Amino acid sequence: MAIAKPQPRKETTPTIDMDERIRLRAFQLFELRGRQDGHDFDDWVTAETEILGKPVKLANLRVLK
C-alpha cells in the first residue's frame, strides 16, 4: 500500500485580495472625506462598485438590528 504524500496547499486568496482591496479603497474614501464618521456603509458600497465594476443592488442587502 502506497503512502500518499501531502500535497502543498494552493492559496485561495482571490476573495481575500478582493476584500482587502475594497477595504483599502473604502478607507481611502474615508480619509478623503476628512475622516468624518457615519459614512462607512457608503464608502464600502462605493469602493465595492469601483473595484468590482458593477453597482451593488441595495435591495439585496439586509438591515441588521
Instruction: Give per-residue pLDDT as tens, 49-60.
Output: 999 887 666 655
Predicted confidence at residue 29, as pLDDT, reads 95
Rounded to whole angstroms, how far apart are CA atoms 14 and 51? 13
**Domain assignment of residue 57, yes or no:** no
**Domain assignment of residue 43, yes or no:** yes
Residue 51 grid coordinates: 473595484
**For the chain, what is the domain count?**
1
Instruction: For residue 55, give Cα distances in angstroms to 37, 42, 50.
Output: 23, 12, 8
Residue 45 grid coordinates: 458600497
**Domain assignment of residue 64, yes or no:** no
Predicted confidence at residue 16, as pLDDT, reads 73
**Domain assignment of residue 42, yes or no:** yes
Instruction: Give per-residue pLDDT as tens, 6-49.
Output: 666 665 566 678 899 999 999 999 999 999 999 999 999 999 99
Range of the domain at 23: 14-51
**Domain assignment of residue 47, yes or no:** yes
In this prediction, residue 3 has a pLDDT band, given cuts at 50, 70 and 90, of: confident
CA angle (14, 20, 23) in 5-degree steps: 145
